[in-house]
Structure 1
C-alpha cells in the first residue's frame, strides 16, 4: 500500500479549517499530522474539534509544526495578513502549499512559482475549491465570446476580508481572455453615490455583497440584444469546497511550480 500523503492544516480551528480536517481524516490516501491555530498550543485536535484525530495536537507555531511533523502538504485557510508568510515558510521547508486564502498579487504568485520550481515542489492557489464554481467560470468564459457585455455580483458572509472575491477576479481574468477590452454602459453615465457602479476591470463591473447568512455565491450576468443570460453558483455550506481541497492535496504531489486555479488540475 502506498504511503499516505502527510498534511498539516493551518487555521484548523476556523470554519474552513474544521471542514478540511474532517475531509482529510475521512480520506484513505491522506494523513493529518499537524494542526495550527494561533490561539491553541498543546491541546488535542480531537477534543477541540470533536473528531477522531488520534494523537495530533494543536500548535500555535507554523514553523515549528512544519519542522517537527515533516508534512508533504500544508493547507492554509487563514487570512491575507498571515497567509503570505505561511507560504514562504512552507516552500522554505520543502512543503507543498495548498492555499484557499485569497488576496495575493500576480507578482507574488509568480515569485512563489519560481521558488517552488527551485525546490522541485508543487503548490496550488485556488480562489475557489468548489467544482461547481469552476464550471461556472468555464461556462462564463465561453459565454463571453458571444455576449461580451458582462457584470458580476458576488455575495459572501460578512466576515470575508477581501473584496471583490478571488473567485470574481479569476472569473474576470478568464472572461478577459475570451473577449476584447471594451467599455460598458452609457459613456456619459455618472454615480450619484460613489461606488454605485461597482469596481471595474477592463470595462467589466463587479459588485461585492457582504451579509450574514451567505457562504459563497456568485452570478455572472450577460446582456445582449433583447436578452440576458445569468450563470450562478451557490455554495450552500463549506463542505462544498472539500472535494477540491482533497483533490489538490493529492494532485500537488505531481507538479513543480505554483498552480493558480483548481481548473488547471481538472480541465
Structure 2
C-alpha cells in the first residue's frame, strides 16, 4: 500500500514540530512538506492530506487554499465559530471528494471528558466550565471548552477561561444541585500532552 503524502502547517510551532516527528516516524505516512508562517502554501501541493496546527487568524485562509487544491485537511487549530464552519462547508460543496476534519482536541481523555460532560449535564439544572491554561494560549475560551459548552447547553454555555502560568491544559465541569455539586476534571501535563496527541493513541473496543 502506498504511503500517504502528508504536509504539516505550523511546522515550527510546539505542536507542529511534534507532529512533523510523528508523521516522519509513521510507517504509512510520508512527510512531504513542513510549512510555517513565512513559507508559501504552494509547497503543500505535493501532499494528499495536510495537518493544520497554526492560529485562528490564518486557519481559514489555509483551508480555503487546501480545499481549492483538493487537498484533505486535518485541523487542530481552534477558533471555529458556527459562521466559520458554515464557510468551510460552502467551500467543500464546491470541491466534492475533498474532506476536512476539525477536531477541538486530539487527546482521548479530553474527547471522553466532553462526552461524559454531555451525558451528565441532563441530570443537573446548571453546569459551569472552568478552564485553566498557560497565558500564551491563543484563544480563550479554547476550542475544547467551547465545544464542551455547545454539547452541554448550546452556544450560550457557561464557560470561564483562565490563563495562569504555568497551568497545564485543564478543564473542570461543575454541576451544582440542591444537595451538592458534581465535579469532573480533566488535566494533562504539558510536557507529555503534545507527544501523546501527535503520535495517536490505541482505542480498545
Please, what TM-score do these two structures have when normalized by structure 2? 0.89
Match of 2:70 in 1: 94
Match of 1:136 in 2: 113
2:161 maps to 1:214: no
CA contact 1:4–1:31 (8 Å) conserved in 2: yes
- 1:211 positional shift: 2.1
- 1:214 positional shift: 2.5
Match of 2:122 in 1: 145
Matched residue count:
200
Pairwise mapping of residues 124-203 of structure 1 onto structure 2 (< 5 A)?
A: 124-176=101-153, 201-202=155-156
RMSD: 2.1
SS at match of 2:94: helix
| Deviations, residues 103-147 of structure 1 (Å, cap 9, x unaligned) | 122122122123224321111111111111010010001111111
- 1:241 positional shift: 1.7
Which of the pair has the greater relative contact order for Cα pairs under 8 Å at 6+ separation?
1
| 2: CA distance, partners of 1:243 / 1:219 | 25
Segments of 5+ residues of structure 2 without an aligned counterpart are none
Please, what TM-score do these two structures have when normalized by structure 1? 0.70
In the TM superposition, structure 1's runs of 4+ consecutive aligned residues that sit over 6 Å from their partners are none
| 2: CA distance, partners of 1:240 / 1:15 | 13
Segments of 5+ residues of structure 1 without an aligned counterpart are 40-59, 178-200, 248-266
CA contact 1:66–1:93 (8 Å) conserved in 2: no
Match of 1:51 in 2: none
Match of 1:260 in 2: none
2:83 maps to 1:107: yes
CA contact 1:151–1:221 (8 Å) conserved in 2: yes
Larger Rg: 1
| 2: CA distance, partners of 1:159 / 1:87 | 24
Pairwise mapping of residues 217-256 of structure 1 onto structure 2 (< 5 A)?
A: 217-236=170-189, 237-243=193-199
| 2: CA distance, partners of 1:10 / 1:215 | 24
CA contact 1:155–1:209 (8 Å) conserved in 2: yes
